[in-house]
Structure formats: C-alpha cells, structure tokens
Amino acid sequence: MGFLVIFIQKVIGQGIGILYGALGEILTEKSGNLNLGIPGMMYMGGIAGLIGAFLYENNTAQPNGLVGVIISFLCAFLCAALGGLIYSILTITLRANQNVTGLALTTFGVGFGNFFGGSLSKLAGGVGQISVAATGAAFKTPVPGLSKLGVIGQAFFSYGFLTYLAIILAILLSFFLNKTRKGLNLRAVGESPSTADAAGIHVTAYRYLATCIGGGLSGLGGLYFVMEYSGGTWTNNGFGDRGWLAIALVIFALWKPVNAIWGSLLFGGLYILYLYIPGLSRSTQEIFKALPYIVTIVVLIITSLRKEREHQPPASLGRAYFREER
C-alpha cells in the first residue's frame, strides 16, 4: 500500500504542471492560434515567480508565506502572459508564421529562464542556494485535516493549492467553452473567424485575450514545478520536455479540458514508469519516456480515421485571419 501511495504522489506531481500547460494551450488553440511557445512560457513563469518571491523574502525581515505566494503567483502569470502578448503581436497583428514564432518563443523562454535562474543563483550565493523558504513552504502546505485521513489523505490530499487549482481551472474552462456566450464566441473564432467577424464578434480581441491568458496559465505550470514540486529551487533546463508533453496532451485530450485532467495523470505515470521497472538500460529508459508521445500518436491516428468533428482541432488552427474590406 505504501508503494502505491508513493507512486500516486509521484504521478500527480508530474502531471499537474503538464496539465497547466495543456489548459493554456487548449484555450489558445480554441481561438485558432497554435502556440508552440508553451514550453518557453512555462520557463518564463517559473523563473518570474521565483524572482518575485526571492526579492520579497530578501527585503523583508519577517516574510509572510501568503504574501510570497500572491507575489510569485502574479509574477508568474503576468510574465508568461507577456510571452503570449509577444506571440500575439507577431502572429495576429503582424501575421508572422505561427509555427516559427512559437518555436522562437520556446527558445527565448528557455534561455530567459536559464539566464535569470543562473543570475539569481549567483546573487543568492551559488547554485542551489536560492532561499524562498517561507513562500516554498506555503506552496507545499497540504489541505488542513484531510491530509491526515490515512492512506486516502496521503494519496489525494497531501498537495499544495496549485494542484487543486489546476483541476478547478480545467472544470471552469470546460464550462466556459461549452456553456457561456463568450466561450461559444471564442470557439466560433477558432472554427471560422470570417463567419464570427460577420456576426459582430471581435476576432482580434478574442485571439489576443485567449493567447495571453493561455500563456499565463501555462506559466503557472512553471511556477508549480519551481515552487510546489521543487520546493522553491531552480535548476537550468530543469523542466525537461514537460512543456512538449503539455502540447501533446492537448491532442490526446481532444481539445477538451476535462479530458486533460485524467490525461495529465496518465502522462505523468507513463513519464516515470521506467523508474519502477528494474534492469532497464539507459536507451530503454528513453524509450519509456517517449510513451506519452506514442500514445498521443495512436489517439491522433484513431480520431483522424473516425473523422468526428468534435474530436478534431479548430478548423482555422494555425491560420492568420485576413479581414476582407467591405
């Protein structure tokens, strides 16, 4: 039983950050924008949140964990949203190629995180010496009372608030996209921007907002890895390929936020499965790490063969919108 609890904790720990990235990309893609810059924006959010908490704690005699959480949360969201704004200006206003822009944003974001992460480490006294103890402890605080409920409490209620916020956001995003006027307008923009424009929907505004907010959500995935998963520490290139897993999860979840919840747990489990299989060589371990991508390809093939519209990406995904003059 103890092994199972530990495995569940590891799976959830791996999956939640991926879920944040996927939710941000789902919101972005529903507007018709294909943002491959999600991995970079996760780095931007992670380092911005850590810098905010570091500056607060090192300039306050008795730092308050809750204040540190608020500061780092806002810094992470806003910095990643800025990445979304840069992407939006280039692809929506200037109509640059979305694939190239997204890849460039990933390269920029990873470099941005590594540069400021290394600089912050030196400022703090060396790699691994970044001190955000109060904020890190606040992020890792489990659910009061419920975390004490034996095996169930350890397995499902021993995490910080960002874990549960991700699940809540997935449910809220699903409700927004399927049950609200604004959400349906956003989906219309993603399916046929010209038709949405003719109906009086401001295509540019919807795409800008969806991309910027989606970027902010992905940045929270970076904040999760830095604060809750890593306890307030930074390691250059420490996110690995989790940002790309988030993009793969969007396809696996068929662009549905609720599907992304259990999909992120599946991805998290597959990602660490090799750790629990003895005797694997290094090359075999890398094959096991690729399992989430293999599963995504299989799902993509199956859904493509079925050709069911609700299982396909938005019709205008990746295409710039050129408004016809009337």
Number of other residues whose CB lies within 10 A of the CB of residue 304:
11
Least confident among 39-48, 211-220, 283-292: 283-292
Looking at residue 170, what is its pLDDT?
A: 98
Query: Where are the domains positioned within the chain?
Result: 3-311
CA angle at 240 for the pair 32 and 37, rounded to the nearest 5°: 20
What residue spans of 58-160 are helical by DSSP H? Answer: 65-88, 98-123, 133-139, 150-156
Give dist(CA 88, CA 166) in Å, integer: 24
pLDDT digits 0-9 by tens, 49-104 = 999 999 999 888 889 999 999 999 999 999 999 999 999 999 999 999 999 999 99
Say if residue 214's pLDDT is above 90: yes
Say if residue 264's pLDDT is above 90: yes
Looking at residue 125, what is its pLDDT?
A: 62
Looking at residue 101, what is its pLDDT?
A: 97
CB 29 within 8 A of CB 233: no
CATH of domain 3-311: 1.10.3470
**Conformational region of residue 138, where left means phi above 0, alpha means psi within -120 to 50, and beta covers everything else:** alpha
Looking at residue 326, what is its pLDDT?
A: 45
Counting residues of the chain whose pLDDT is more than 90, the rounded percentage is 64
Say if residue 127's pLDDT is above 60: no
Place of tokens 């300039």: 59
Say if residue 278's pLDDT is above 90: no
Which carries the bigger pLDDT value, residue 233 or residue 216?
Answer: 216
The pTM of the full predicted model, rounded to 2 decimals, is: 0.94
Say if residue 238's pLDDT is above 90: no
Say if residue 1's pLDDT is above 90: no
CB 40 within 8 A of CB 108: yes
Cα-only R_g, the chain: 20
Counting residues of the chain whose pLDDT is more than 70, the rounded percentage is 95
Q: How many residues does the chain have?
A: 326
Of 218, 247, 238, residue with least CA distance to 82? 218
Which carries the bigger pLDDT value, residue 167 or residue 239?
Answer: 167
The DSSP secondary structure of 139-186, one letter per residue, reads HT---TTGGGSHHHHHHHS-S-HHHHHHHHHHHHHHHHHHHSHHHHHH
Which carries the bigger pLDDT value, residue 146 or residue 172?
Answer: 172
Give dist(CA 44, CA 109) in Å, integer: 6
Looking at residue 110, what is its pLDDT?
A: 95
Place of tokens 């975390």: 147
Of 144, 245, 168, residue with least CA distance to 176? 168
Give dist(CA 33, CA 202) in Å, integer: 15
Number of other residues whose CB lies within 10 A of the CB of residue 33:
30
Looking at residue 126, what is its pLDDT?
A: 58
Number of other residues whose CB lies within 10 A of the CB of residue 145:
9
Which carries the bigger pLDDT value, residue 226 or residue 149?
Answer: 226
Say if residue 41's pLDDT is above 60: yes
Give dist(CA 161, CA 124) in Å, integer: 27
Which carries the bigger pLDDT value, residue 231 or residue 111?
Answer: 111
pLDDT digits 0-9 by tens, 165-210 = 999 999 999 999 999 999 999 999 999 999 999 999 999 999 999 9
Mean pLDDT for 6-30 is 95
Mean pLDDT for 297-326 is 79
Q: Which two tokens stand for residue 202?
A: 């401001």
Give dist(CA 146, CA 9) in Å, integer: 15
